[in-house]
Amino acid sequence: MEVIQIEGGHRVTGEVNVEGAKNSALKLMAATIMAPGVTTLTNVPNIADVHVMGKVLKNIGARIEVVNEHELRIDTSDVDSWETPYHLVAQMRASTAVLGPLLSRFGRAIVAMPGGCNIGARSIDMHILGLEALGVEFSVKHGNIHASAPHGLVGNTVTLSFASVGATENLMMASVFAKGTTTIDNAAREPEIVDLANLLNEMGAKISGAGSPVIEIEGVSELHPVTHRVVGDRIEAGTFLAVGALTGEPVTVRGFAPLHLGIVLKKYEQMGISVERGTGCCTVWREGPLLPTDIQTLPFPGFPTDMQAQTMTLLALAKGSCVITENIFENRFMLASELSRMGADISIEGHHAIVHGVDGFSGTQVKSPDLRGGAALVMAGLVADGITTVSAIHHIDRGYEGFVEKLASLGARIRRTELPDVDEEDL
């Protein structure tokens, strides 16, 4: 079984470049379905989830040329199917991002119901409700969602009950060719939504308001392929900034917009971390102890749930106690039990994690609960006493390109290795 092993206590400092955003690239890839021809995406992260989305597109007839590990040429001229099978949706919930594009191109789609995942049920009821307002009819057969718009998609006003990222994206893409204008109210405002709207507008769409709570899409008749650079990954950047905050020595992260981590950097300053914001980069370091501060995860521009785990690792070593409230997912505190094996003192009460800071972590065997929790455990290993062995690292490979190599380039004593005779099921 492949694991990541870290020997704690080594100096970690230097510079790291982050990749394009996973949570944008996957949707940009799906959007190419609506622009028959060759769209080139650059700054694409070389991660497992991108490879799965590539399989989803090939499965419906797209051809993908890997120009290099960060550049894809996606030819959707001959896309001739509108079905995304269960085995691909089961691998990656984000496969549901093809729902809007397939409806736009074919007026129908068959997408396997996304199962739950480690962090929650993650239904798509808001996607369905919003699409029904645009004239889409749904039925569920044998675990597949059958969507069709027999009379075409018609623009409407949709108010989301929650600022869902995925629902906002699917509705935006499904509205591009709709008759008339669509207004999405209470839309998600994440930078990845803006990146998707930018791509669609470059392709010929007429979308305004992305990044605000009200997005307006005026229907057009067609889109044309383009070349587009994926926005920098603010969560990968935040993860490496959390590493610098944890270890204390200066760490500079390049390739993202510090504005996309606004509240995170403000919270980190409250935690006693020094932050120097640059153009496309940011440096953090720490001279004194980590200080406790309460965290509540919220839709952008609130504190991102995807930075909750990394910040829990920091707060577990703060001088004092605090409360982390997870408002986005119903089960995103699984890191706590693994960190407790390393000596953390965290108790969970519903959506709240009560964190009492301890003096240090002790290295041991731990298991990644999910993508961000896995990264947070590796972080903890950097400052733990002794060796920390992190298993289930396929979670980390889904969203971080070269995570071990980047940490090693900062001076971490870290490696991927095989644990003989141990199967993941045994853990």
Compute the least distance from the CB of residue 153 to ligand EPZ, in Å.
18
By CB under 6 A, tell whether 191 contacts ligand EPZ.
no
In sequence order, what are the residues at sequence separation of 6 or more whose Cβ sits closer than 8 angstroms to the Cβ of residue 63? Answer: 74, 75, 78
In angstroms, rounded to a whole number, what is the distance separating the alpha carbons of residues 289 and 285? 11
By CB under 6 A, tell whether 134 contacts ligand EPZ.
no
Q: Mark 347-376 with x for binding to ligand EPZ (rule: CB under 6 A) and - for no binding.
A: ------------------------xx----
Side chain identity at 256, as an amino acid letter? Answer: F
Helix (H) or strand (E) holding 147: strand 144-148
| Total residues belonging to the chain | 427
Please identify, using beta-carbon distances, which residue of 28 and 217 lies nearer to ligand EPZ. Answer: 28
Please identify, using beta-carbon distances, which residue of 123 and 417 lies nearer to ligand EPZ. Answer: 123
- Structure tokens given for 232: 């920098």
Q: Which one among 173, 207, 315, 328 touches ligand EPZ, defined by CB under 6 A?
A: 328
Q: Site residues for ligand EPZ, window 86-105 (CB under 6 A)? A: 94
Q: Which one among 2, 69, 125, 185 touches ligand EPZ, defined by CB under 6 A?
A: 125
Q: Is 322 a catalytic residue?
A: no
Q: Which one among 4, 29, 126, 316 touches ligand EPZ, defined by CB under 6 A?
A: 126
Burial of 50 per CB tally in 10 Å (0-12, 13-18, 19+): buried
Buried b (16+ CB within 10 A) or exposed e, 212-237: eeebbbebeeebebbebbbbbbbbbb
Compute the least distance from the CB of residue 279 to ligand EPZ, in Å.
25
By CB under 6 A, tell whether 140 contacts ligand EPZ.
no
Q: Which one among 4, 28, 124, 199 touches ligand EPZ, defined by CB under 6 A?
A: 124
Choices 59-67, 101-109, 124-132, 376-384 (CB under 6 A): range interacting with ligand EPZ = 124-132
- Structure tokens given for 72: 């894809």
Compute the least distance from the CB of residue 190 to ligand EPZ, in Å.
6
Q: Which residues pair with 227 in a beta bridge?
A: 40
Q: Nearest Cα to 421, choosing from 110, 91, 62, 3?
A: 3
Q: Which one among 69, 87, 120, 417 touches ligand EPZ, defined by CB under 6 A?
A: 120
Please identify, using beta-carbon distances, which residue of 162 and 270 lies nearer to ligand EPZ. Answer: 162
By CB under 6 A, tell whether 123 contacts ligand EPZ.
yes
Compute the least distance from the CB of residue 132 to ligand EPZ, in Å.
12
Please identify, using beta-carbon distances, which residue of 22 and 70 lies nearer to ligand EPZ. Answer: 22
Please identify, using beta-carbon distances, which residue of 163 and 291 lies nearer to ligand EPZ. Answer: 163
In angstroms, rounded to a whole number, what is the distance separating the alpha carbons of residues 132 and 112? 18
Other C-beta atoms lying within 10 Å of the C-beta of residue 265: 20
Are the beta carbons of 374 and 396 closer than 8 angstroms? yes
Distance from the first to the final alpha carbon of the chain: 11
In sequence order, what are the residues at sequence separation of 6 or more whose Cβ sits closer than 8 angstroms to the Cβ of residue 426? Answer: none
Choices 40-48, 123-131, 245-253, 313-321 (CB under 6 A): range interacting with ligand EPZ = 123-131
In angstroms, rounded to a whole number, what is the distance separating the alpha carbons of residues 144 and 243? 41
In angstroms, rounded to a whole number, what is the distance separating the alpha carbons of residues 116 and 210? 28
Q: Which one among 50, 399, 403, 410 touches ligand EPZ, defined by CB under 6 A?
A: 399
Residue nearest to ligand EPZ (CB): 166
By CB under 6 A, tell whether 116 contacts ligand EPZ.
no
- Structure tokens given for 283: 């440096």
Q: Which one among 50, 109, 147, 167 touches ligand EPZ, defined by CB under 6 A?
A: 167
Choices 50-58, 68-76, 162-170, 218-226 (CB under 6 A): range interacting with ligand EPZ = 162-170
In sequence order, what are the residues at sequence separation of 6 or more whose Cβ sits closer than 8 angstroms to the Cβ of residue 142? Answer: none
Q: Which stretches of the chain bind ligand EPZ, using CB under 6 A?
A: 22-23, 26, 94, 120-127, 162, 164-167, 305-306, 328-329, 371-372, 399
What is the set of active-site residues?
117
